[in-house]
Amino acid sequence: MTVDFFKHRYGYEIEGAWMPRVTAVTSLLSKANMFASQASADWGTLVHETIGSLLRGDSIQIDSRIAPSLRAFEEWKGTHGFELKDPQESIEKRVFDFEHAYAGTVDLIANVQGSRGLIDLKTSTAIRDEHSLQTAAYFSAYNQNAKESLRCTMRGIVRIDQYQACLGCFAKQRQKGRKETVSGGNPACNHQWSQAKGEIEFRELPDHQEDFEAFLAAKEVWEWYYRDMLKRIANYPKKVTQKILL
């Protein structure tokens, strides 16, 4: 891998410094990501981009395949006091932390049930442990650069899923892009699939400090893993090569 390819693939250039993306660091811990297909990555991108456009009030053509997900999200917004002001500053917000040398893009900063929240959207089939580390890193970076009145008091995951349920055995079939997976139910059943329906799982994540410390520990491992590459990146703001031994 060339240095330029590595920098492009794993990080951002911000104010003259190169810093890895939070998700590059957390992907080291993720068993799921290693096996994630391109189809499910594309699906996630489509859902993220469409929701971003709708929240900005852009007029866009909606892909009918994701309509159940969008309906579920709309309904969730209505029942959770969702409020998003200043779309320019609140959607796909770039955040960074020079001291700990990482950067990332926050999906949404919005009020949910009266709290100002940092929200990450997921289209995975479950909320996973590494999502706690990812949002802790965003939360810390966002709050250290935000005006006091704009700081978030809560971080959470909104998982947006959609599936068809078997009318006989309650197996679930997910079709995200070209990928099709069946889970649960009775494998011997001659499934009769319902219409696709959307589903939202919202989870507020507690224990910010504990998660943030775990993220920093994960980042130490990530730096060790890529130490040879990082030594060749002149504008990486953290010195990984000259640890002082006491």
Q: What is the binding site for Zn ion (CB under 5 A)?
A: 166, 168-169, 171, 185, 189, 191
| CB half-sphere exposure, 138, CA atoms < 13 A | 30
Spatial separation of the C-alpha atoms in residues 102 and 119, rounded to whole Å: 18
In which element (H, E) is residue 79 found?
Answer: helix 67-79
Yes or no: say if 139 and 148 are a contact pair by the CB < 8 Å rule: no
DSSP letters, 160-226, are EEEEEEBTTT--EEEEETTEEEEESS-TTS---B---EEEEEEEE---HHHHHHHHHHHHHHHHHHT
Q: In whole angstroms, how close is the CB of 125 to Zn ion at the nearest point?
A: 18
Yes or no: say if 141 and 102 are a contact pair by the CB < 8 Å rule: yes
Q: In whole angstroms, how close is the CB of 186 to Zn ion at the nearest point?
A: 6
Spatial separation of the C-alpha atoms in residues 45 and 49, rounded to whole Å: 6
Q: In whole angstroms, how close is the CB of 193 to Zn ion at the nearest point?
A: 8
Q: In whole angstroms, how close is the CB of 164 to Zn ion at the nearest point?
A: 10
Q: Which is nearer to Zn ion, 38 or 186 (CB)?
A: 186
Q: Which is nearer to Zn ion, 17 or 169 (CB)?
A: 169
Q: Which is nearer to Zn ion, 28 or 169 (CB)?
A: 169
Cα end-to-end span (Å), the chain: 34
Spatial separation of the C-alpha atoms in residues 170 and 167, rounded to whole Å: 6
Q: In whole angstroms, how close is the CB of 123 to Zn ion at the nearest point?
A: 24
Q: Which is nearer to Zn ion, 121 or 169 (CB)?
A: 169
Q: Which is nearer to Zn ion, 128 or 191 (CB)?
A: 191
Yes or no: say if 164 and 175 are a contact pair by the CB < 8 Å rule: yes
Q: In whole angstroms, how close is the CB of 189 to Zn ion at the nearest point?
A: 3
Q: Which is nearer to Zn ion, 28 or 189 (CB)?
A: 189
Q: In whole angstroms, how close is the CB of 39 to Zn ion at the nearest point?
A: 23
Q: Which is nearer to Zn ion, 155 or 172 (CB)?
A: 172
Strand, coil or helix: what is 117?
strand
